[in-house]
Structure 1
Amino acid sequence: MRWKNLRERTVYENRWFRVNLADVELPDGAHLDHYLIRLRPVAAATVVNEANEVLLLWRHRFITDIWGWELAAGVVEDGEAIESAAAREMEEETGWRPGALRHLMTVEPSNGLTDARHHIYWTPEAVYTGAPEDGFESDRREWVPLKVVPDLIARGEVPAANMAAALLLLHHIRLG
């Protein structure tokens, strides 16, 4: 069964997102108004070192009032390549410049409400360049053993679904 978006109009817009109202036709021919959020792509990146430790940020999200582990991430700027944005965000937020990035996954964290796509990368090497430019985005940055990732997720210490999925995939890739 396919829903059809017949048309949509913007009801609010800023530099980060647009809220649109869509006229949706359901398979039985009925119509409904459906709000949706149009977002720019997000790029995220981390490094897994030779000791199988992953570089993570411990940060507070005021919207949900929850602390948790995350990868460095941010919005892809207009005209910026997604992989370049991932590298930029990692260095700005952690102080580590990544080596050649490898695409890990692309996820849609809430595709019933938004068209957001999160592109997640990783690298086995990085160079420390100094204190993070955007150090205000996290309370601390730490090397966390990949072997503890499933336990962190089970305890709710990785609350963002996109981050949990990425860390579990890295756990599988590196530790089997």
Structure 2
Amino acid sequence: MAFPEKTLQSEVVYDGPIFRIRKDKVTVVGGKTSYRDILEHNGGAVILAVKEDGRILMVRQFRKALEREVLELPAGKIDGDEDPMDTALRELKEETGYQAGSIRHLTTISPSCGYTTELLYIYLCKDLTPGETHFDDTEDLDLYEYTADELVDRIMKGEIQDAKTIVGVLFARTAGEI
């Protein structure tokens, strides 16, 4: 099946500091028209940071959309035309205080390709050096360390539901990285 939808008209209906939303009028199968609401997002970097002892750095923070705290891998949005790897290194330092001696791209995911342009770039960071955190003015999070087995167990029990964390941990485990 190779039927690309053709955009006939596009209108920005919201333009905020983190994302914007546009409404596209498109042609669909059979030549009919339909509308697509698209959330444009610059993307983000996700950090699977592994300490020398094999423990993985995790953060717990309140997520307003879910109205609860979430245990997740450190991550952050890409600023402007920033390289995703630079975003990963910046966010690692900001959220955990650690700096990585080595960094490698593991995979890129589209968290919800039905309505957003957002891509998340997942990186494996090792050779960590501790330092001080540099939270954004609006961030309040706690740092934790877990073994890979503990994280996989929490994922399989449904205790971790954050998609980027599930993909990052299980991808790295399957690839033999953790």
Residue 112 of structure 1 deviates from its aligned partner by 0.4
Correspondences of 1:26-175 after superposition (within 5 Å): 26-130=28-132, 132-134=133-135, 137-172=139-174, 173-175=176-178
* Residues in 1 aligned to 2:113 and 2:88: alpha-carbon distance in whole angstroms: 22
* Residues in 1 aligned to 2:67 and 2:22: alpha-carbon distance in whole angstroms: 27
Residue number in structure 1 paired with 2:21? 19
* Residues in 2 aligned to 1:97 and 1:157: alpha-carbon distance in whole angstroms: 28
TM-score by length of 1: 0.90
For structure 1, the residue ranges without an aligned partner over 5 or more in a row are none
How many residues align? The count is 174
Identity %: 24
The one-letter code of the counterpart of 2:135 is D
8 A Cα contact 1:67 1:157, kept in partner: no
Residue 73 of structure 1 deviates from its aligned partner by 1.1
8 A Cα contact 2:41 2:117, kept in partner: yes
Residue 3 of structure 1 deviates from its aligned partner by 4.3
* Aligned residues: CA RMSD: 1.8
The one-letter code of the counterpart of 1:40 is N
8 A Cα contact 2:46 2:164, kept in partner: no
Residue 49 of structure 1 deviates from its aligned partner by 2.1
Which secondary structure does the structure 2 equivalent of 1:169 belong to? helix
* Residues in 2 aligned to 1:137 and 1:169: alpha-carbon distance in whole angstroms: 27
Which secondary structure does the structure 2 equivalent of 1:105 belong to? strand
Residue 138 of structure 1 deviates from its aligned partner by 4.6
Residue 125 of structure 1 deviates from its aligned partner by 1.4
Give CA deviations for 1:80-136 in whole Å, capped at 9, x if unaligned. 221011100110011111222100110000110101000111122111112x11186
* Residues in 2 aligned to 1:17 and 1:36: alpha-carbon distance in whole angstroms: 10
* Residues in 2 aligned to 1:109 and 1:164: alpha-carbon distance in whole angstroms: 12
For structure 2, the residue ranges without an aligned partner over 5 or more in a row are none
* Residues in 2 aligned to 1:27 and 1:127: alpha-carbon distance in whole angstroms: 54
TM-score by length of 2: 0.89
**Ranges of 4+ aligned residues in structure 1 off by more than 3 Å:** 135-139
Give CA deviations for 1:5-59 in whole Å, capped at 9, x if unaligned. 3132211112211110011211121111111101112112131123321111112
* Residues in 1 aligned to 2:6 and 2:38: alpha-carbon distance in whole angstroms: 11
Alpha-carbon spacing, 1:137–1:165, altered in 2? closer, same or farther (3 Å): same
